[in-house]
Amino acid sequence: MNATDSLREMRKQLHRIPELGFQEFKTQARLLEYIQKLPQAYLEIKTWKTGIFVKVAGSEPQKTIAYRADIDGLPIEEATTYDFRSEHPGKMHACGHDLHMTIALGILTHFANNQPKNTLLFIFQPAEEGPGGAKPMLESEEIKTWWPDEIMALHIAPEHPVGTIATKEGLLFANTSELFIDLKGKGGHAAYPHTANDMVVAASHLVTQMQTIVSRNMDPLDSGVVTIGVIKGGTKQNIIAENARIEGTIRTLSIESMKKIKSRIEALATGIEQGFECKVSIDYGSNYCQVYNEKTRVRDFMKFTEEQSNVTLVECKEAMTGEDFGYFLERIPGFMFWLGVGSPYGLHDARLEPDDRAIDVAVQHVIQYITSMD
């Protein structure tokens, strides 16, 4: 089995065992098994929770270059045509983290066999999809010991064909926040609505009002998203619901807009409390800061990419996608780029089937780029 086939097989193994944030025990074990079989002369391995750090000692190090891959899956029932579908019911690698890990392993394999000039740090990060692994990982003693001078990462892009590298200077991914709202009123019999406070009705009014925040409270030249993905309330058709729950997400291109949207949600919730004589509580869950590419380093990467004949560089627009890699970029200069994987189904779709030819494209491109930095 050649190197490319070996990586594709590894991707299949990882795809079969998706695990949620900070529960990636099988994934961590499989990654460690692979890494420990590599030549160890230049390697040091440390674990952190369900994540892994691997340092590759440079021969003449002037700096430490970090490469990050996220390792968790999503709570989605897989609907692909693969013969290597998820073995974990209700869980799937629907965001491409199986490819992210495999690509990182491919790059690591090369440098474990071919010592780089600069020291490299490979970061296998848990819980990107939630509750957020980047921020606590940055506070770990493990990374403080091996603190990198710069960092890079990629994310698969189903909308781009294989062979495409897409990125830009500055803002790439949005600020994001989870949104959980609980409403508590008074239950009762459906035949006696005047004796109860109906939280299905209250929740419905709140959802409708929140849809006016972006259209009526934000500058039309700014961008924001308030999406409600879940409404839960009630237990039976003839019982007035005492409780209801709303779950959603907020996305903005600026920190100021995020604060404004949250302020409006809180004001609307206060109005619902008064209008429906109920109690409303808000939890913003995981909050991810923007992914902001450092100008000098992403320009260097884009220039290098333009000069390669086997890939096509696309200067893309910013996206409302959320990524906790932004916390790394807050503290370590670096960048993220999109990797084309040519799928008709998008991220977080149960039918997502990335073209695995993109694995070799990414591995070779990043190896060449890191080597060019020596």
> Any idea which residues carry the catalytic annotation?
70, 129
For the residues of 225-280, what is the DSSP string, one character each?
A: EEEEEEEEE-SSTTEE-SEEEEEEEEEESSHHHHHHHHHHHHHHHHHHHHHHT-EE
Residue with tokens 């692979």: 34
Residue in 312, 57, 314 with CA at minimum distance from that of residue 172: 314
Task: At 151, give phi and psi (nearest 5°).
Answer: -150, 150
Q: Evaluate whether 76 touches 348 at the Cβ level (below 8 Å).
A: yes
Task: Please report the beta strands in the chain, taking only residues with DSSP state E, as ranges in sequence order.
Answer: 43-48, 51-56, 64-70, 119-125, 150-157, 164-167, 170-173, 175-184, 188-189, 224-233, 239-240, 243-252, 279-283, 287-288, 291-293, 312-315, 334-340
